[in-house]
Amino acid sequence: MTISSRKFLRHSLILTVCLLFAFAWTNNPQLSTYNLQLVAFLIIFYFGSRFFVRKTEIDMAVLSLLIFILVFTTGALASPLFFLVYFLLFGLALLFEPAASLFLAFFLTVLFLAIPEGTDILHELLQLASLFMLVPLAVIFGKQYLKLVRSSLEVRALETEEKNLTQKIERQKSEVGYWTDKVFGQKLAEIQNYIKFLEKDPATTSEKKSLLRQISAKIYAIFLSGKEMEKEVKNA
């Protein structure tokens, strides 16, 4: 089973538990008297939990349960708050995955058709049909949102990689500068000093002195070339 499949099953289970709990609570004569207290508790729990745990699944579970309780309490399909379900569909598509919206619309339809509460069947059917009319829009927005999130993550990854490369280049520039000054330059200076020592040696013939001067000139040219390379690297 893929990761996306496991997430969908987990999110579907969360929605199922929330929907069945809200339905059972609001249809129980003893528990339904505490609907207002339950709504207040959910609101307090939602805002209180955000100070300690910032998890999308907890947020959506609490919001879903809150909306289901409000809708069932105020008349289910005839509820004036039924429009909150539309916002929930979009929220599920954005924060869970697009398929979660389709699952909720299907589950709500099965539940309301299995347990009809009103007498206006046409109105109920239109309410249920409106859910499936909004699901494609929610899915489209959800997919576009996921693409934007992935693009944002890719941009952040590229920015991090660029920062790492910049730091690496700066480190390499520093290493090149240190090598040309402390290693390359010093070694060439030592060779130049040794050549000058040989030139001053009485045993060195004029022919060898001429050859040593040519070698010294070439070494100096190499030194200048190294300094030019150092400038190019630092200015790159």
Structural domain spans, the chain: 3-156, 158-235
**C-beta separation of 66 from 39 below 8 A:** yes
This model's pTM is above 0.85: no
- pLDDT value of position 117: 60
Place of tokens 């609907």: 35
**116-122 long-range contacts, Cβ below 8 Å, gap at least 24?**
117/75, 117/76, 117/77, 117/78, 118/75, 118/76, 118/77, 118/78, 120/78
Q: Which residue positions in the chain have pLDDT lower than 70?
A: 1-4, 52-54, 116-120, 176-185, 201, 204, 209, 226-227, 229-236
